[in-house]
Structure 1
Amino acid sequence: MTPLARWARAEWGLLYATVRGPLAKRRLRAVPMSVAAVCLTALLQFVQNQSWGYRFVQDVGSVRAADPLWTALRRTPLSLFVPALDLPVWGALAQILVVFGIAEVCLGWWRTLTVAYVATLAGTLYARAGIALGPRHPLGLPASDAWVVDTGPSAAVVGLAVVLGWRYGAYATVGVVAAAMVAEVVLKDNLAGKEHLAAIASVLALGATVVAGRRLDRRRRQRRPGSRAGSGRSGLPPIQS
């Protein structure tokens, strides 16, 4: 085995082993939520490119920092599946199918949607905070960004990729994803790149909170009368559901 193959096995072997069985046995039936997400994204892309449908999609799923907060929160769940008009939709569909699909197998559909929503919501809220801070602040944004539509599926995809990499020991992949987002901010200095960084920060904070909660719960159980120290589970793979 070559050094590159050994590295790839160490980096992605556990993730591959987790995903391979369900996908080989059931194929797309193993990821029904992800298939539905791809279909919904394709449908919204088609509708928003029609003269009669653009305003409808904007009203139900496009989020801007200029929108009232409650309007933005109401639109945020659907905004996960509204692709950017200026980017190829096939890229978004492929990202959703692959990343959402892997996450659905590994984490279950509801955890996948939770992480995706947290990542997207973090970007939405960051845009508001950044504009309030102003362009002179290191984390601030210019007022013109208030009218830029939020990232759509990309923040959710980035967040899920980081969670999967962290959980399954693909730390180099997590580093590459984070570095790519930093490079996007440095080279383009756009709202989308900064929202992606906010998404990464939010899912890492969510993951750290979950891990801390499990450790605290394990310690409490070990302190109960009759409990045996060390009987708790480690917490890594399986989470499939």
Structure 2
Amino acid sequence: MRGDTEARERSGGPEPAVVPVRRFVAVPQTRTSGGAEHGLGRFVRFLGRNLLREFRVVIVQPARTLVRRGLSGVALAIFASVAVLTLHAVDQSPTGAALIRLTSHVRGDIPLPLVLLRTPLSLFVPARDMAALPGIPVLFLGVALAQLVLGRTRTVLVAYAVSLAGTLSARVMIELGPRWWGLPPDAAQVIDTGASAAVVGLFAHVATVKRAPVLFFFAVTPTVLRSLHKPNLAGREHLVAITVAVLLGLLATRRDPALREAERPA
């Protein structure tokens, strides 16, 4: 035995120690839905905060202004509604129809200076293809909300600006002819009256200024879809009016960021 040990020492030293081999077994891990649930919770809280903010700036604050100012806070809406009903009644008689045609009808083949003179009154003449009475609630709501949120002066300026932009753009489209985004020559004979472009423009402007996507979705998006589906003169003017209203809203909030939250005088 001693000889064997000495022989091993002379040849290479002691025997190496036996190292146990560890085997690692992969244990399948189950994914937890904590991250997804956390993300969903954050989205729900974000949506809730924005809906609450939009409810406050689009409904609560205008309602407070209406309570404080009374009917004077919606004087423009009352005036516009009464003017539409009055001109609609006048238009029912031959004499009244001739008077309205000479003072408020706007077409693409009328000289531009005459169009500029007739445009303010043309806003209160119901369009030929639309009934007057069903549009009164929408007209009243759009103008009333705009006056309560934006104030009387800004409401008038925005309504006139978007309507005039739509009228002038229609003349350009007629000049382009029946090509892409143009209109056929017979569109110059279409009577262009009504407050629909002004109303949808006011909704779009208020939604842009107040960062109110829900208001924009329900009040503006249907008009956009109808205009794209039926690309006639009125539809094109509505798209232009909405675009101009949004641009004016972005410009207004850039100059006065407090306009997004602050209550405006009626």
TM-score (norm 2): 0.75
Bigger radius of gyration among the two: 2
Deviation (angstroms), 1:157:
0.3
Kept in 1, the 8 Å contact 2:210–2:259? The answer is no
Aligned positions of 1:92-241 closer than 5 A? 92-136=135-179, 138-212=180-254, 214=255, 234-236=258-260, 237-241=262-266
Q: Which runs of 5+ in 1 are unaligned?
A: 216-232
The 10-residue stretch of structure 1 (17-26 or 161-170) with the greater mean CA deviation from structure 2: 17-26
Deviation (angstroms), 1:131:
0.5
Equivalent residue of 1:53, what SS? helix
* 1:41 partnered with 2:66: no
Change (3 A) 1:41 1:61: same
- Cα distance in structure 2, aligned partners of 1:188 and 1:207: 26
Deviation (angstroms), 1:177:
4.3
- Cα distance in structure 1, aligned partners of 2:259 and 2:141: 24
* 1:79 partnered with 2:99: no
Equivalent residue of 1:207, what SS? helix
Equivalent residue of 1:31, what SS? helix
Kept in 2, the 8 Å contact 1:151–1:192? The answer is no
Deviation (angstroms), 1:173:
2.8
Aligned equivalent of 1:60: 103
Equivalent residue of 1:240, what SS? coil
- Cα distance in structure 2, aligned partners of 1:67 and 1:170: 38
- The code of the aligned residue for 1:238 comes to E
RMSD across aligned positions (CA): 2.2
Change (3 A) 1:184 1:85: same
Aligned equivalent of 1:91: 134
- Cα distance in structure 2, aligned partners of 1:14 and 1:128: 37
Kept in 2, the 8 Å contact 1:178–1:197? The answer is no
- Cα distance in structure 1, aligned partners of 2:87 and 2:252: 33
The 10-residue stretch of structure 1 (168-177 or 97-106) with the greater mean CA deviation from structure 2: 168-177
Deviation (angstroms), 1:14:
1.7
Kept in 2, the 8 Å contact 1:122–1:199? The answer is yes
Aligned equivalent of 2:62: 19
Give per-residue Cα distances to partners, 1:196-230, cap 9 Å, x unaligned: 00001111222233344x27xxxxxxxxxxxxxxx
Kept in 1, the 8 Å contact 2:149–2:265? The answer is yes
The 10-residue stretch of structure 1 (11-20 or 103-112) with the greater mean CA deviation from structure 2: 11-20
- Cα distance in structure 1, aligned partners of 2:68 and 2:206: 21
The 10-residue stretch of structure 1 (7-16 or 195-204) with the greater mean CA deviation from structure 2: 7-16
Kept in 1, the 8 Å contact 2:206–2:249? The answer is no
- Cα distance in structure 2, aligned partners of 1:174 and 1:64: 29
Deviation (angstroms), 1:183:
1.9
Kept in 2, the 8 Å contact 1:92–1:153? The answer is no
Equivalent residue of 2:95, what SS? coil
Kept in 1, the 8 Å contact 2:208–2:250? The answer is no
Deviation (angstroms), 1:180:
2.0
Change (3 A) 1:22 1:239: closer
